[in-house]
Structure 1
């Protein structure tokens, strides 16, 4: 019973930490740039490709780290919840209501992307929680 409670608390803490990392990454990479750029008749922005790339790489590292210690569900759910909440907060001042489509796309993309990263890290990890190779030789 005590081991189950301890595992649950570690999983919960991992979820909160990954969600916090996702929100923090959003603020650092995308939160400060709110202006659209106009070049002739073209309007771009507010984010540049390098900003989104930095956000993705930062989240990739956070999800991979948490998945490496075999906390797969917190890695996926924490990153998804954190990035979805950050995008909702940042985009909610849109009067058209179309920001909800963007938030939904962020939710789905983050969920699928972080799940793929967790699966790959889990498959490459090959160690159980105690740090020992699996008893059946990894098969």
Structure 2
């Protein structure tokens, strides 16, 4: 019986790639917009517009679907979640109120749940998609 060293790279590579892509997608959609809009009544909104967040979500949806359809469900779920969490933490860390960690935790939980649902549905559809019924 041949015994070799366990090589974790094939299992870690999809996670690392998904995390890197998630950070890059965050930077492309949200990373460049850092100013808040001040309205005439003194209220502020932003720094992101709705179209930026929608673009981020749709882009990640395509990427998560692609990874999960190739059998990299763990990479799609955990890599994307880690990447978005790291990007949000870095992007929001200059918040003076200290509440940025609440937002980071919500990004982490939301992305974990969202990617798990999309990845599970994709894997399930792929498993049943190849079967024909008589």
TM value normalised by structure 2: 0.87
Query: How far did residue 57 of structure 1 move?
Result: 0.9
Count of residue pairs brought into register by the alignment: 128
Aligned equivalents of 1:13, 1:108: Cα separation in 2: 23
1:106 corresponds in structure 2 to 107
Deviations along 1:39-96, whole A, 9 cap, x unmatched? Answer: 2123111000000001101111111111111111111000000000000000001122
Aligned equivalents of 1:95, 1:66: Cα separation in 2: 37
Aligned equivalents of 1:71, 1:12: Cα separation in 2: 10
1:47-66 correspondence runs (5 A): 47-66=48-67
Aligned equivalents of 1:106, 1:79: Cα separation in 2: 11
Aligned equivalents of 1:89, 1:118: Cα separation in 2: 26
What stretches of structure 1 of length at least 5 have no aligned partner? 128-132
Aligned equivalents of 2:32, 2:72: Cα separation in 1: 31
Q: CA RMSD in A?
A: 2.1
- Which SS does the other structure have where 2:44 is aligned? strand
Q: Which portions of structure 1, spanning 4 or more consecutive aligned residues, are displaced by more than 2 angstroms?
A: 8-11
TM value normalised by structure 1: 0.84
Q: Does 1:72 align with 2:73?
A: yes
